[in-house]
Amino acid sequence: MNRFKILHQDFKSAARGGLLSTAHGEVETPVFMPVGTSGAVKGITGRQLKETGCGLVLANTYHLMLRPGVEVVEKLGGLHRFMGWDGTLLTDSGGYQIFSLSSLTKVDDDGVEFASHIDGAKTYINAEIATQIQNRLGADIIMCFDECPPFPCEISPLKQAVERTINWAKRSKDAHANGNQMLFGIVQGGIDLSLRTYCAAELTKVDFDGYAIGGLSVGEGQDNMIKTVEHTAQLLPADKPRYLMGVGMPADIIAAVRAGVDMFDCTLPTRNGRNACAFTEDGPLRLRNSSHTEDGKPIEPGCDCYCCKNFSRAALRHFFNVGEMLGPIMTSLHNLRFYQRLTAKIRQAIKEKEFDRWAAEELKKIDY
């Protein structure tokens, strides 16, 4: 059963607007997912997330399986209840974090043994275990276990990572045992377009519910990233959702939508918010700057978020300077609303078949 419908298509680009139907509601695409690494979007409640326009949140399998553990989440009623979130939820497989955060002690074709970044305890995971954990957590969309190679990467280990990713994807599908969940395969291959072509072809044979483009935004540079996305997106089935993992600069989102991508996630809105950096249509706003000491304007005049309706730049600067948690929370809230406003504009432009023109104008003025 295909739970994704394309409703609108731009005339002059590959951009499309769709509807993703899940067990916890329908989500319009293109969509941006805030990241709830350990079961929470830092400092933000589920109600506040909904007020920003968010309908889909990502949680991190690696972190949740280490703390509090899948048994605890399961006992307490599943991840939705644990997070206090009744909207759509996606969990990643943990592969990226295992290869980037942990001290790997053994990697072979079967799976990975790694040392926890928390206490060094050795843990083993493979495609079957990662899938079973996600089945038990109960998210609406889950990801195949994959090997995310670093950048740069020599051709031999890059090819090996692609082969393992394909093999682990097949095993993930065989192990998948929760029919309420959609399972996405992940295309790897670095910036080697021939490997991306090969990986995409092998994964589409398996017939997943959706497909992700992984292994980007790891140091390859914007030009290489966009070139790889443009190449890879068109290799994926047109009737399935396409998800670009971990990419979140506004200009990158617009360029990827133009290439036919439907879904995005990134920690930028909340990470930047915690560091006193606000996103606005006029570019980044650094709230610690002394120029805001007596500035009575909101972060972004015209923004309808709770922060902009209630707090001045001067107040937010003060909160950051005195270590008051309201500063990071309110700035994160504004940034999350900024991203939801951005994707709403993208969807509207696609619906009006004006996206290509709108995107060209937006990319000329955008400062991100």
Active-site annotation, residues? 92, 265
**8 Å CB contact between 18 and 29:** yes
DSSP-derived secondary structure letter, 62: H
Q: Is 351 exposed, middle or buried (0-12, 13-18, 19+ CB in 10 A)?
A: middle
d(CA 209, CA 236): 11
3-state secondary structure of 233: helix
**8 Å CB contact between 131 and 178:** no
For residue 363, what are the contacts with CB-CB under 8 A and spacing of at least 6?
Answer: 251, 254, 255
List alpha helices for 117-192, DSSP H. Answer: 127-137, 155-175
d(CA 75, CA 41): 22
d(CA 340, CA 56): 11
Q: Dig out the tokens for 81 from the structure.
A: 């209840």
| Best CA proximity match to 208, nearest among 172, 167, 232 | 172
Distance between alpha carbon 63 and the CA centroid of its chain, in Å?
A: 15
d(CA 236, CA 58): 22
Angle at alpha carbon of residue 107, lines to 101 and 111, rounded to 5°:
95
Strands 111-115, 103-107: parallel, antiparallel or unpaired by DSSP? antiparallel
**8 Å CB contact between 4 and 19:** yes
